[in-house]
Structure 1
Amino acid sequence: MTNITRKRADPGRVLALVLTLGLALVLVGGAARAVDLAVPSNAQLTLERISARDSYGVATGPALDGRVPTTAAEGQVARRSWRIDAQGLSTLQLMAPLRDQLVDAGYEILFECAAADCGGFDFRFALEVIPAPDMHVDLFDFRYLAARHDDRDGRVSHAVLLTSRTETAGFVQVVQIVPADEETPQSAGGDRPALGPGDSAAPEEGDTPLPVAVALERNGHAVLSDLAFETGSSNLGPGEFASLAALADYLLADPDRRIALVGHTDAVGGLDGNIALSKRRAASVLERLATDLGVPRSQMEAEGVGYLAPFTTNLSPEGREINRRVEAVLLNTE
């Protein structure tokens, strides 16, 4: 499978008023063309990842009893996110124009919901969401939409939209799944090498993430960026986390390799409570690696430092979400 990733636009770059997203193939006179979605002129592309042949789980109903109904969509999968710096935007204001354009293009809305109506925590953490800071999702203020289009040849395309906001910015994630072409799709701006499954979001120079194994051996640690923890909770969300799979592969390849899983929190609450919470989070990750992925417990230990080692500011919701994390630290194997 060929992937192309564009990570975080140049801060000075602003998208044009109409951005060709290629959200689906729509037949016009028997020929396929891409749908053009209008986005605000101040929308900044934060991440673009395109996979030539991939699959994506499209949620088609609310979470019930901890489960979210999904349908597997296959083909070219493009994941994109935008940040819109503006105060007072609602999630409906962000979603409605995109929804209307999909409907005008002949899409059928499969499911749409807002926050609690979606199923809250269980629904949010069943979704594949681009990690912060490129995408931000407020558990109590987000909207979701899934849509489908069938062309005259019976080919199926899907579009999945997710919107959320902070006090100062709106966030939009668009996932498109269209019939696979023989040629590898190109992301806007060129051929930057793609990130594979299990890549770490710990930034290096130029904000380019490193794969987990490379980050461990080059930097001595790797942020497991796709893990999700709610403030005050030590529960690791459901799902198969690519970073854990990559970490498990790394450890299982050499029984002499050992890591410390180190939990971190945001700065909400007292130090003692946050240290205890961060250690429970690390222990939760260790348990998942041992129980589900078969990593020997002798190769791992779990520690927690609370809010003493922030990755970024705790003064914004996005910063606090980034700081709630677990890192793998490579230990001396000699």
Structure 2
Amino acid sequence: MRSMLLVFALLLPAAFAWADATVPTKDVDGARDPAFLKRYEGSFIVNYEQKAFDQLVIPLSTLKAVPDKTDRMNNRLMAPDKKLVAEGRYTRLLYVAPEGRSPLEVIRNYVEEIEGAGGKALYSCKDDGCGGDLHGNDHGGGTQGLLEKLYPQERVKAPDFSNGNCASTMDVAEQRFVAFKLPTPDGDASVAVLAYTVQDDLYCKALNDRTVAMVLVIEAKAREQKMVTVTAAEMAKSLSGTGRIALYGIYFDTNKTDIKPESSQALEQIAALLKGDPALKVFIVGHTDNVGSQAANMDLSKRRANAVVAALTSTYGAKAAQMEAAGVGMLSPLASNDDETGRAKNRRVELVKK
């Protein structure tokens, strides 16, 4: 894709050409370091994203090819055998280090800083030992690499050939990666640091041979509860009209089946629905996003559905005979799983009328 853009750019009149990358002299507007993690001295932030709540999948082992699977750019899909799935306040920063600094020097400084603050390294790798290709995150027809697993192309919003874009799309010459758990005043944070050297001979060449440090942080922060509780009457109306209703008021921790206390209002309304219509019978159906394997998500969704039935029966007085648990994992999405907004919509419990 990037090669096509380059050819197209060469055909444009000079007045319409994209602005080339430049050596950064200040941070991009609005960017700031995490309160608990310093930057490498002399570095500037060229790319920044923060979300109040999101998910980050951090590899904890070498990336391996997933048989017969490709991504949206027709690259061979890669995945680790071990991973950390973290949720909370999401921050991504791309720093350009001063000239002449290697990925090894940059990553060693981060390791010392984080371990000095009580952090613990969970996994580290370098170069091809991380698995996948050494590429930026905008190539197609090859093999995914660690950079694009951590920062997928669809999340790149910086203008073409800007510093923020070039810092992740340029060719990668070498890389060093470390994943950590870091204690903070608000709880443990998950931190991933990928330091890599970038190379280019066209619009991004101002950054040629510089080291980029990509720092990804998930801070322990509960998701704000923004969904309005669906009433028993609304559930009955939807079941009568469409035979199903999706509910987002039942909460679980990542990869767990324990129902969180803030789910009580939704469960009370389901129980009220069933008690109000003793002849009604429903499937309690668990749904997940596509993070993780199909088998794991099928199992998790069924166990969560079982947990809902058990809670409704034991705590809220609903009759077990009116309910049957089922789990369909990732097989029935309501939205694309390409971003967290879609994945959040796909993680749900549904009532389906028998």
In the superposition, the TM-score normalised over structure 2's length comes to: 0.38
In the superposition, the TM-score normalised over structure 1's length comes to: 0.40
Structure that is richer in strand per residue: 1
Structure that is richer in helix per residue: 2
